[in-house]
Structure formats: C-alpha cells, structure tokens
C-alpha cells in the first residue's frame, strides 16, 4: 500500500478489543471461507456488466468532450443548476461538499476562478425550488438534467418548469442552456436530444444511479466547477487495484463488506453508522447511506445506515451509541491534514479552565474527539472501523467512492441479493402516479 492512500483500520472489530461482541479467530476463519464465493459472484457481475462501476474507473481515459463542454459551460454561465435525485445527485453533492471551498456559492466570481455557482435540486419542495428560481438569472444559468431512466417524476417535474422559463426568457435559444445526462437510447430525455440538438452525455446502460458518481453523472458537473476529475478517477483506479485480490487481509473493500455482513448476520448488529469528523466529508455519509440502503435492503435483509456528524453528534447521538442497544457497526472518517492552515484556527490565551487548549488548533481538537469517541465506544464493546484521509482531495475521495462501492457489492454477494436493482421503490412511484392521475 502506498503511504498516501486511505488508511483503513479494523482493530476495533477484534475480540481482544471488544470481547465477545467482536471478531475472534472462529469468525475470521468463517469469513475467510465465504470470500471465494463472494469474489466469484463479483467477477460474474463484472462480466454481466452489473458491476460496470469497477471497470469504468480507469479502464479508459475520461472523454475529452466532458472537459470541453465543462470549459464552455464555465465560461458562459454564472450558475450550474443540476436537476436530479437519488443516485443522480448524491455523489455530486458529496464531491462538491468535499472538494469545493466552503461556502462556494457565496464566493465572488473571481474567488471561484470564473467557475459557476452550483445548485443541486434533489427535491421538489416548492418553497426551495421557487426561491432558487427567483435567486438565479435563468439566462445566465446552465441547467443540467440528470436522469438515467429519463422517467423520474421529481426530475421531470422540475425540468418542465425550467423549460417553460427558458422558452419565455430565451425564445428559440432555450436549448443552449440545457445539458442532458441520460441513458444512451432509453427514456424521455433522449428523443429531445435528437429532436432539438441538446448537448448530452450518455450514462452506460447498466450503470445504476448510486454507482454512477464516477461517470458523466458526477464528473461533468464537478469538472464545470473546476474539480480535478482526473484525480478522482485516478484515486478510484488505485483503490480498484488495491481491492483486486480475494484476500480479506489485503483487500479493505472485501473486509468492509464481509465484516459488516458478519456483524449483521451473526452478531445482531443491523445498523451501520457513518460518522465523519470533517465537514468536507459530511455528505459522504449521505452518499453511503443511499448506497448501503438501496443496494442491500432486500428480501428482509440489510443493515440500516445512519448518518452522524463528529463532533456535533457527540452532543446528540453518542449517548445512545454508548449505552443503547449494542446493535451498530461504526464507520469513522477522519482527516489527518485539514486544507486550511492550522495557524488560522489556533487558540490563544484560553481561560485557566481551558489552559490545555493553549496553542492548539481546531483540527487537533476535532481529531482528538474522534479518537476519544472511538476509544470510548471500544471500551463500551461497540465495533468500529476508522478510515483516515491523509487530506480531503479528489484522489482520496475517488478512493473512498470505489472502496464502498466494492464493499457494497461484496456485502450483496454475502446476503445473496442483487445489489444493483431497487424493486422496492417501484410501488411508491406507481401509487404517486395513480394519486396524481386521479386528480385529472
Ligand atoms: O440509485 C438509483 O438507481 C436511484 O437512486 C436513482 O439514481 C434515482 O431513482 C434517480 O433515477 P434516475 O437517474 O433514473 O432519474
């Protein structure tokens, strides 16, 4: 392993740390025996194209068209509004939160180096949407509509509202402010691309939304805002290489997927908490929650993902984590070197009660709190793994995305379910349509 890669530490899963609740020799032997079959299943999913996410990252260079259109978009528009939901939004939101400077949309054009503000509309709350429409100048806005299926009601509804506005303001030029990212042939958006010459990118047909952040779905809007998408893909490729062998000792994605499965199936831990101690990584837990829930929650199986924030949730959730039911596996994320100089957040002249804070910076305190919470949970015999980012940058985020995508597939193989479909969301969609049609 290269020194600069993500460090993934499983020590607090072990029985010598947390007693019977943890993994002993018997568990580790039994898990090792499950690996060949899970690996075989993963290879089958790669061959069938279901696990295309793995081979997509790094198998080819990113299409030069993404860079060209992104550069034009940045040059011509003040705002980039993404219309998309679920897997068509969460990866981008996570990447933007992690890799753009904080308060990006409040920075001046110069501070943003001429790149657009970014708004991701992943809900249809009318108050939020109308406020955004009032705030932006539609003429100076590129609307990127992202929908793999081209059939999603929330994205379609927003799109029709935007289309009317574009037609009102721009007349025949309305299409110039639109970019579609959708299936290469299927769905309702693709025919419009052909009919009106709208700029578009294709999402590989078998690539599911929650596995699509490293496709044009995440890469194009990220590139518009100046995120180094080559580094994102480079990190993902490095992690894919690191996780190629069916050996749980060397393959951290197989370890994450397999250990979580085992804790759920054999140790009654059916909740998985992700707790980043970094605001930049906050939405990593939203992205993870969708990936874990929508992929693995099937046939009465699957762990419930929970999002928590360090240090904030130490004053909210941690009481439950320490003394409530021992039914959780914890995934801590920490950052070794924060992006802004620690001199800016150094504490000077604290009162005598806080004298131990003298001369230290907020990052040091945050990391101490992460270690303390991890240590306290270990003493309370609660299993946790810790992922350390040397720093939050595109390369390490790419590693992180690939790590948990592979882990999810491997957990799916252990559960004996298909992690790439989502039949359970169809009924709600059908009922929504029926309710709305009944109004006609
Ligand atoms: O992960 C998934 O497949 C889903 O969350 C989809 O991304 C979400 O339902 C949006 O679908 P679409 O991109 O087809 O509009």
Where residue 125 sits, what CATH number does that domain have? Answer: 3.40.50.10490
- C-alpha triplet 402, 17, 413: angle, nearest 5°: 35
Asked if residue 216 and residue 124 are part of one domain, the reply reads yes
Asked if residue 123 and residue 12 are part of one domain, the reply reads no
Cβ(87) – ligand 1 distance below 6 Å: yes
CA atoms within 13 A on the CB side of 302: 23
Question: Which residues of the chain register pLDDT less than 70?
Answer: 1-3, 58-60
Per-residue pLDDT at 343: 86
Taking the CA of residue 86 as reference, the ligand 1 atom at the shortest distance is 5
Residue 430 lies in a domain: no
Q: In what order do the strands lie in the sheet with 271-276?
A: 7-9, 384-389, 328-335, 271-276, 304-307
Total domains, the chain:
2
Give the mutation target among 82, 123, 152 for probing the ligand 1 site: most ligand atoms within 8 A of CB: 152
Verify whether residue 260 is a known catalytic residue: no
Verify whether residue 315 is a known catalytic residue: yes
Cβ(408) – ligand 1 distance below 6 Å: no
- The Å distance, Cα 209 to ligand 1 centre, comes to 5
Residue 1 lies in a domain: no
8 A C-beta contact, residue 214 and residue 56: yes
Give the mutation target among 92, 148, 297 for probing the ligand 1 site: most ligand atoms within 8 A of CB: 148
Asked if residue 346 and residue 201 are part of one domain, the reply reads no
Per-residue pLDDT at 391: 97
- Residue-wise pLDDT for 416-431, tens only, equals 999 999 999 989 999 9
Cβ(85) – ligand 1 distance below 6 Å: yes
- List the residue whose alpha carbon is closest to atom 2 of ligand 1: 209
Taking the CA of residue 203 as reference, the ligand 1 atom at the shortest distance is 13
Alpha-carbon gap, residue 248 to 403, rounded angstroms: 13
Asked if residue 365 and residue 236 are part of one domain, the reply reads yes
- The Å distance, Cα 406 to ligand 1 centre, comes to 19
Cβ(152) – ligand 1 distance below 6 Å: yes
Residue 435 lies in a domain: no
Domain that includes residue 290, residue range: 7-47+232-416
Q: What global pTM score does this model have?
A: 0.97
Asked if residue 340 and residue 378 are part of one domain, the reply reads yes
Taking the CA of residue 211 as reference, the ligand 1 atom at the shortest distance is 1
Per-residue pLDDT at 59: 62
Q: Which of residues 227, 252, 276 is at a domain's end?
A: 227
- List the residue whose alpha carbon is closest to atom 15 of ligand 1: 147
Asked if residue 217 and residue 243 are part of one domain, the reply reads no
Per-residue pLDDT at 1: 46
Verify whether residue 164 is a known catalytic residue: no
Give the mutation target among 50, 52, 83, 85 for probing the ligand 1 site: most ligand atoms within 8 A of CB: 85
Annotated catalytic residue: which of 113, 140, 429, 433? 429
Helix axis angle, 52-59 relative to 394-415, nearest 10°?
Answer: 160
DSSP string, 379-404: HTT--EEEEEESS-SHHHHHHHHHHH
Q: What is the DSSP letter of 145?
A: E
Residue 423 lies in a domain: no
- Residue-wise pLDDT for 176-218, tens only, equals 999 999 999 999 999 999 999 999 999 999 999 999 999 999 9
Per-residue pLDDT at 3: 64
């Amino acid at each position: 392993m290269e020194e600069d890669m993500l460090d993934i530490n499983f020590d607090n899963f072990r029985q010598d740390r947390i007693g019977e609740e943890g993994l002993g020799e018997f568990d580790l032997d039994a898990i090792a025996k499950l690996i060949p079959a899970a690996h075989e299943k993963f290879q089958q999913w790669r061959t069938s194209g279901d696990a295309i996410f793995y081979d997509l990252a790094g198998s080819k260079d990113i299409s030069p068209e993404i860079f060209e259109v992104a550069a034009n978009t940045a040059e011509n528009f003040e705002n980039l509004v993404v219309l998309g939901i679920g897997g068509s939004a969460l990866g981008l939101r996570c990447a933007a939160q992690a890799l753009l400077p904080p308060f990006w949309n409040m920075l001046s054009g110069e501070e943003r180096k001429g790149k657009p503000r970014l708004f991701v509309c992943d809900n249809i709350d009318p108050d939020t949407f109308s406020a955004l429409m009032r705030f932006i100048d539609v003429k100076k806005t590129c609307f990127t509509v992202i929908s793999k299926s081209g059939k999603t009601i929330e994205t379609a509804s927003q799109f029709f509202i935007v289309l009317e506005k574009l037609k009102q303001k721009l007349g025949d030029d309305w299409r110039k402010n639109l970019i579609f990212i959708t299936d290469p042939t299927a769905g309702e958006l693709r025919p419009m691309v052909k009919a009106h010459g709208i700029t578009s990118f294709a999402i590989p047909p078998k690539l599911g939304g929650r596995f699509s952040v490293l496709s044009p779905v995440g890469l194009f809007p990220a590139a518009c805002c100046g995120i180094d998408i080559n580094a994102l893909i480079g990190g993902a490729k490095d992690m894919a290489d690191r996780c190629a062998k069916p050996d749980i000792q060397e393959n951290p994605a197989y370890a994450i997927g397999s250990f979580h499965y085992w804790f759920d199936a054999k140790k009654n831990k059916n909740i998985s908490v992700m707790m980043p101690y970094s605001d930049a990584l906050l939405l990593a837990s939203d992205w993870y929650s969708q990936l874990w829930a929508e992929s693995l929650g099937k046939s009465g199986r699957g762990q419930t993902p929970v999002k928590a924030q360090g240090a904030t949730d130490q004053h909210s959730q941690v009481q439950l984590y320490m003394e409530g039911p021992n039914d959780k596996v914890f995934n801590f994320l920490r950052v070794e070197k924060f992006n802004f100089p620690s001199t800016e957040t150094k504490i000077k002249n604290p009162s005598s009660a806080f004298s131990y804070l003298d001369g230290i910076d907020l990052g040091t305190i945050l990391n101490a709190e992460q270690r303390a919470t991890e240590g306290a949970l270990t003493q309370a015999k609660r299993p946790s793994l810790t992922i350390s980012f040397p720093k939050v940058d595109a390369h390490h985020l790419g590693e992180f995305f690939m790590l948990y995508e592979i882990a999810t597939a491997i957990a799916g193989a252990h559960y004996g379910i298909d992690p790439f479909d989502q039949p359970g969301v169809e009924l709600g969609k059908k009922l929504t349509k029926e309710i709305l049609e009944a109004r006609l």
